[in-house]
Amino acid sequence: MNIPGFVIRNALRNKRRLILTVLSVALSLFLFTVLQTALNELTQPAVSEDSALRLIVRHRVSLANVLPVKYQSRLEQIPGVEICSKFTWFGGVYIDEKNFFPQFACEADKIARLFSEAVFDPKQMADFVQDKAGCVVGIKTMRRFGWKIGDKITLKGTLWECDPELTIRAVYREGIDETDLFFHHEYFDELTGDLGLTGTFWIKAKNAEAIPDLVERIDRSFRNSDAETKTETERAFQLEFVSMFGNIKTLVGSISLVIVFTMILVTASTMSMAIRERMREIAILKAVGFDGVQLLGLILSESFGLSMAGGFIGCFGAWLLFNHINVYELTDGFFIKFEVTPHILAGGMMVAAILGAASCVMPAYNTIRMNIVEGLKELD
* Digit-coded pLDDT (tens) for 348-372: 888 888 877 777 776 666 666 665 5
Burial call 304-327: b when 16+ CB within 10 Å, e when fewer: bbbbbbbbbbbbbbbbeebeeeeb
CA-CA distance, 19 to 310, in Å (whole number)?
A: 9
pLDDT recorded at residue 380: 45
pLDDT recorded at residue 183: 94
Return the bridge partners of 198, or none.
67
Q: Are 58 and 202 in contact (CB under 8 A)?
A: no
CA-CA distance, 371 to 283, in Å (whole number)?
A: 8
Q: Are 147 and 137 in contact (CB under 8 A)?
A: yes
CA-CA distance, 190 to 133, in Å (whole number)?
A: 11
pLDDT recorded at residue 282: 63
pTM above the 0.75 mark? no
Work out the widest C-alpha separation in the chain, in whole angstroms.
93
Residue 176 CB neighbours (<10 A): 21
pLDDT recorded at residue 49: 67
CA-CA distance, 367 to 105, in Å (whole number)?
A: 70
CA-CA distance, 4 to 215, in Å (whole number)?
A: 63
Question: What are the angstrom distances between the C-alpha of 37 and each of 217, 256, 340?
Answer: 37, 12, 6
Residue 291 CB neighbours (<10 A): 11
pLDDT recorded at residue 379: 47
* Residue 49, φ and ψ in degrees, nearest 5: -60, -40
Phi-psi label, residue 328: left if phi above 0, alpha if psi -120 to 50, beta otherwise? alpha
Question: What are the angstrom distances between the C-alpha of 355 and each of 210, 242, 298, 350?
Answer: 49, 31, 16, 8
pLDDT recorded at residue 6: 53
pLDDT along the chain (380 residues), means of 10: 57 69 85 84 66 85 85 87 89 85 90 87 92 92 90 89 91 82 93 88 85 86 86 77 63 79 76 65 62 64 79 89 75 68 88 79 66 54
Q: What pairing do the DSSP bridges indicate for beta strands 165-173 and 134-138? A: parallel
pLDDT recorded at residue 336: 61
pLDDT single digits (tens) 257-290 = 888 788 777 777 776 666 666 666 666 666 666 6
